[in-house]
Structure 1
Amino acid sequence: MKNSYKDDNFGSRIANKAKARQAIQERIKARPGPGDPEFEKIRAEREAISAARQQRLAERKAEKEEKLAREKAEREAREQAEKAAREARELAEKEEADRIADEAIALLAEQKAARDARYAARKARKGGKRARKAQVQAES
């Protein structure tokens, strides 16, 4: 089978092209123009579609902004809760450290008192002037 256009000569191809161009032009001219009621109907439909599209876009934008605001509020609330928990934990740790430090100070004071008592007892056993002075200090 041969392609039909190969059998045509150059002149017939030019003529076919001109006919196709003429058909396209006639189809364009046949379309309704600005004053035509059909044209006005189509334009009104397009405007309605455009208005509906704009409304949907505005609704989506409002929903997105609302979602972002809600997420921001949730994030801020979560951060506040974390901050409060962190502060409470730090306060508890500080109180624990203070308690341990107080216990260490009390233990050191107790150890010093015991050491001083042993020292005073040793001096008292050995006797002498210093021993009596140490005994007087230990009693007071």
Structure 2
Amino acid sequence: MRHSNDNGFAERRNAAAEAKRELLAKFASAPKSADPGMQERLAARDAVIRAREARRAEREALKTAENQRILAAAAAMAAAAEAEEKAEAEARQAEIADRVSRGVADEAARKAERDRRYAARKARQA
């Protein structure tokens, strides 16, 4: 089924060639890099790029400083926790040593009392 407005091969080829010519004419009439207006636009674009890079570098510096602050705070907290844990361990060791010394003292007191009673009994028997 053929359409009445169907273009033939030659017409399509001519249309493609015309489009190509128009495209080439468009690029030929485009401003050259030596054009002062183009130089201004390129300079403005470079300034925007440099400003963007400066803002990115500033954000990176702030992020790095924040990370350093967080790491320092975490290290301080870890050191405080370690010191607290060490103090608790020393307190436990001191408590254990105190219990042992009291146990030894109590045992020595019981032994002394037992020896005293034994000596008193022997003195009564003699």
Letter in 1 for 2:52: R
Indicate the RMSD between aligned Cα atoms, in angstroms: 2.1
The runs of 5 or more residues in structure 2 that have no matched partner are: none
Match of residue 14 from structure 2: 15
1:60 is displaced (CA, Å) by: 1.0
Match of residue 64 from structure 1: 63
Match of residue 47 from structure 2: 48
1:10 is displaced (CA, Å) by: 0.8
Moved over 6 A (4+): none
1:45 is displaced (CA, Å) by: 1.5
1:118 is displaced (CA, Å) by: 3.6
Normalization by structure 1: what TM-score?
0.78
Partners in 1 of 2:13 and 2:113 — Cα distance?
Answer: 125
Q: Decide which moves more: 73-82 or 112-121.
A: 112-121
Partners in 2 of 1:111 and 1:21 — Cα distance?
Answer: 116
1:92 is displaced (CA, Å) by: 1.2
Q: Which has the larger radius of gyration?
A: 1
SS of the residue 2:33 aligns to: coil
1:111 is displaced (CA, Å) by: 1.9
The runs of 5 or more residues in structure 1 that have no matched partner are: 128-140
Normalization by structure 2: what TM-score?
0.86
Identity of aligned residues (%): 34
SS of the residue 1:7 aligns to: coil
Q: Decide which moves more: 111-120 or 51-60.
A: 111-120
Specify which structure has the bigger relative contact order, considering alpha-carbon pairs within 8 angstroms and separated by 6 or more residues.
1
